[in-house]
Amino acid sequence: MTPVTEATPVKATPTLPDSQTVTEVRHWTDRLFSFRVSRPASLRFRSGEFVMIGLMGDPDPKTGKQKPLLRAYSIASPSWDEELEFYSIKVQDGPLTSRLQHIQPGDQIILRPKPVGTLVHDALLPGKRIWFFATGTGFAPFASLLRDPQTYEDYDEIIITHTCREVGELTYGAELIDSIRNDDMLAELIGDGFADKIRYYPTTTREDSPKMGRITDLMRSGALFDDLGVPPLSPDTDRAMICGNLAFNLELKELFEDYGLVEGANSKPQHYVVEKAFLD
Ligand code: A2P
């Protein structure tokens, strides 16, 4: 008699809902990293928009069920890129980024393919000069917009300010701008010399660098405008997008209202738009 053996159940590889595969991870500092993932074939977005991304949460101790743990992330890559790039903070006790910071190429993340957001060209009236104001990971949507041909078609001058605590936190943005300046494909797409329109103004607040100080203080003192040789923002010529922490966004909004700029939206284009840099 042959013994009856129980068939071993075949374990299916778990597939996450809306899963995408990580293709590259770069760690910039102990607080910052960026990563690239595959792009869903059907995903269309406007440069500057965000999507919800994340991982499966821990199993519920009672039911054993797992729920997705999702956060809003600006897409840092331009809309023509075949992959998607994200730029993230690492919060050691943050529910998502404490785990997300350990992803490796080949891993899967969840990505809900429903892009939304206000930092889009459609929310601004035509202008001469566009300002991008970022703190920390608030640089991400501008990493997308700075690689979008429309930015250069719509404006004569593009000023990007980035304020971080420490010099190392500027590297992602600085390298990206360098790479844009040397990108032959973009030059072919947009036109030779397109990158001459970019003015990059990095500042730090807690470590020595060539330009120290919060951008809001540098605006109030007039140093920003003296350094760049441009007049303060005016509703006639200037358009602006803001992405940083809440206090920064509110302070800049107040400054803009003093300059006479009006906040816009997708449904009603105006002079400036704001998005919070989403923190864990
Ligand atoms: P500071 O070092 O003076 O707080 P964080 O990492 O906390 O999000 O901050 C990122 C950068 O934004 C820091 O350089 C910080 O300066 C700056 N910052 C924070 N709050 C404001 C604000 N209300 N206005 C301007 N800059 C700000």
Sorted by sequence, the CB contacts under 8 Å of residue 103 that are 6+ apart come out as 22, 25, 35, 109
- Specify the DSSP element, H or E, that contains 26: strand 19-27
- Residue ranges of the chain whose pLDDT lies below 50: 1-13
Instruction: Give residue 164 CA to ligand 1 midpoint distance, Å.
Output: 7
pLDDT tens profile 56-68? 988 888 998 888 9
SS3 of residue 59 by DSSP: coil
Chain mean position to CA 242? 11
- Identify the three-state secondary structure at position 124: strand
**Single-letter amino acid code for the residue at 148:** D
pLDDT of residue 2: 41
Taking the C-alpha atoms of residue 255 and residue 214, their distance in angstroms, rounded to an integer, is 13
For the stretch 89-131, pLDDT in tens is 999 999 999 999 999 999 999 999 999 999 999 999 999 999 9
To test the pocket of ligand 1, the residue of 165, 243, 276 to mutate (highest count of ligand atoms within 8 Å of its CB) is 165
Query: Ligand 1: which of 28, 91, 133, 135 to mutate, most ligand atoms within 8 Å of CB?
Result: 135
Q: For position 58, what pLDDT does the model report?
A: 85
Q: What is the pLDDT of residue 16?
A: 64
- The whole-model pTM stands at 0.92
